[in-house]
């Protein structure tokens, strides 16, 4: 797509809200968890549309990586065109830490009741300590 339709930027900007520096997509979301946006009669993943609108065309053979690891983020500052192998490497590295940054190699992880959910042992410890402290103050 060489030329972006005139109203695409306005339509795009009406479909996100800022949450902790991310621009979270509020428009249509596919079953894969990525936003969807129609531009110039073609359906795009919202993060790819953001890259096109704000940074220009995505070079052939590259994928758009979320530096923030948030699939709904369309902030162009959080997006980078990278090779497929780099995108896979980054995704694998991100799985080594919990969302709060604890290293799974150091603290470990446990699986929840559903095999899809994993929990950081250190986060669970901190939540338990906080809950016990709160209960102590309530029981005094």
pLDDT of residue 92: 80
| Below-50 pLDDT ranges, the chain | 1
Please name the residue that has the structure tokens 């996100």.
16
At 30, is the secondary structure helix, strand, or coil?
coil
In the CATH scheme, what architecture does the domain 1-95 have? Alpha-Beta Complex (3.90)
Q: Angle at Cα 82 formed by Cα 76 and Cα 83, nearest 5°?
A: 155
pLDDT of residue 111: 58
Question: Which DSSP category does 67 fall into?
Answer: T
Domain ranges of the chain: 1-95, 99-140
89-122 pLDDT per residue, tens: 888 877 777 777 777 776 666 655 555 556 778 8
Residue 108's closest CA among 96, 100, 99, 116?
Answer: 96
pLDDT of residue 1: 47
pLDDT of residue 50: 97
pLDDT of residue 114: 53
Beta bridge partners of 64: 81
């Amino acid at each position: 797509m060489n030329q972006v339709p005139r109203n695409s930027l306005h339509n795009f900007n009406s479909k996100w809200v800022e949450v902790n520096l991310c621009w979270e997509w509020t428009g249509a979301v596919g079953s894969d968890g990525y936003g969807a946006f129609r531009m110039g009669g073609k359906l795009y993943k919202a993060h790819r549309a953001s890259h096109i609108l704000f940074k220009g065309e995505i070079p052939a053979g590259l994928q758009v990586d979320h530096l923030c690891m948030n699939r709904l983020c369309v902030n162009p500052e959080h997006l980078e065109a990278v090779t497929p192998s780099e995108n896979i490497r980054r995704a694998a590295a991100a799985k080594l830490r919990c969302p709060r940054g604890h290293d799974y190699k150091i603290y470990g992880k446990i699986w929840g009741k559903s095999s899809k959910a994993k929990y950081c042992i250190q986060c669970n410890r901190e939540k338990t300590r906080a809950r016990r402290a709160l209960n102590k103050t309530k029981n005094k």
